[in-house]
Structure 1
């Protein structure tokens, strides 16, 4: 039996302490993460939603490792819940392409390809660049100044190197920008594409990841400056580069 890397996942409002576990078993040459350690109880209301949020955060941070298999009962034990809400959350992630079902074993985290991330960046650009250019021409400068705290929040999150925290603040900033378009469907579709683009290719050197996040965050402030100035050329260039940078 091979011992795996400990990691932790905690749903909203539940401390992360107590979730770190060891990888328990080996089957057909693959690891299945399942054994719990000191489980905490998740609030009973919206359990599935809390588990889904926690698993999404673990995907972004790399705590759910690409290629690894995780069992419903094992993850349920980590959160102090039955396997049912975990399986439901995992089924949603399977629909999103984040994991794939492994019959009789659980769910394998999808191994992302550079091509897939490039395709997501292209689709995001096709949707959002025209919107950004329209907003640059029509939205008053005061509205963009009001978003500066959100942009600064992404910078603060990036400085910590916490990819999960950065992902949340990054999407919050982009949602706020797109809401000026007055199209809720646009915001929903763009946010889902954004979420998928945040799943990392693989875990890497922490210092390198932090540098990538800091560079990405700096583009938010630059974008606001360009929107205030109504510099359409810079807006278009920054948005395209920003989406391409999501591959990091």
Structure 2
């Protein structure tokens, strides 16, 4: 196992600036940190200090430290005394298991929405779907992951099962998409992002089989392409 790497403010990943009038810094910082972990911006074994990350966010170290403690409870990072927080590793087997469970839940649940979901509620998710494309085109992986999460969890919420949404949300938090950089650099991330619009259009058209096919292909990217190291 390689030695832990401690980042400084100059080496920290580019994260969203959270200055200005933003509600609940702690939750917003925690969301952005989770997205950075999922996108592979924060790598396993790296050690990040709260002050260094706070400088990137444009806020004080207190909400960052509090957010990191939330991530400790979720198993996404570990505390390193007098240094900060170490990003935990996820094994290939774990990634496979997370994706398998997601497929078992998300594909049939989303397909069923073709017959049950309110078209207006589906249309309300279009901005999130479009934001995944915009972020992919800009190479903003953290924004892409955040919009992707809003879209998929928003879809599942339409099924009316809060526990289902909670389970999938937890699986997404634990996942790592190390291949996002390569996809973005190759210009392929936009193609994957546009699948969100394909899924949405198929749902609005009440085409259950098209939804099932698109969701199966889309989730296949999680391990087939996105999680490649």
TM-score bucket of the superposed structures, by smaller chain = 0.7 to 0.9
TM alignment of 1:217-232, pairs within 5 A = 217-232=193-208
Q: Which residue of 1 aligns with 2:192?
A: 216
**1:86 and 2:44 correspond:** no
Q: Is the 8 A contact 1:67 1:111 kept in 2?
A: yes
**1:118 and 2:96 correspond:** yes
Q: Give the Å deviation of 1:206.
A: 6.8
**Which one is further off, 186-195 or 215-224?**
186-195
Q: Which residue of 2 aligns with 1:30?
A: none
Uncovered stretches (5+) of structure 2, i.e. residues with no partner: 1-5
Q: Which residue of 2 aligns with 1:7?
A: 12
Which is higher, the Rg of structure 1 or of structure 2? Answer: 1
Separation in structure 1 between the aligned mates of residue 84 and residue 7 of structure 2, nearest angstrom = 19
Q: Is the 8 A contact 1:111 1:201 kept in 2?
A: no
SS of 1:246 mapped into structure 2: helix
- Indicate which of 167, 171, 182 corresponds to 1:189: 167
**1:135 and 2:113 correspond:** yes
RMSD after superposition: 3.4
Cα distance change on mapping 1:106 and 1:173 into 2, 3 Å: same
TM-score, normalised by the number of residues in structure 1: 0.69
Q: Which residue of 2 aligns with 1:34?
A: none
Separation in structure 1 between the aligned mates of residue 129 and residue 22 of structure 2, nearest angstrom = 34
Q: Is the 8 A contact 2:18 2:59 kept in 1?
A: no
- Indicate which of 178, 202, 206 corresponds to 1:201: 178
- Indicate which of 102, 105, 124 corresponds to 2:80: 102
Uncovered stretches (5+) of structure 1, i.e. residues with no partner: 15-41
SS of 1:111 mapped into structure 2: coil
Q: Which residue of 2 aligns with 1:18?
A: none
Q: Give the Å deviation of 1:149.
A: 3.9
Q: Is the 8 A contact 1:114 1:201 kept in 2?
A: no
**Aligned residue pairs, count:** 217
Query: Larger RCO: Structure 1 or Structure 2 (Cα < 8 Å, ≥ 6 residues apart)?
Result: 2
Q: Give the Å deviation of 1:85.
A: 3.9
Q: Which residue of 1 aligns with 2:136?
A: 158
Q: Give the Å deviation of 1:124.
A: 1.2
Cα distance change on mapping 1:122 and 1:162 into 2, 3 Å: same
Cα distance change on mapping 1:209 and 1:93 into 2, 3 Å: farther
TM-score, normalised by the number of residues in structure 2: 0.74
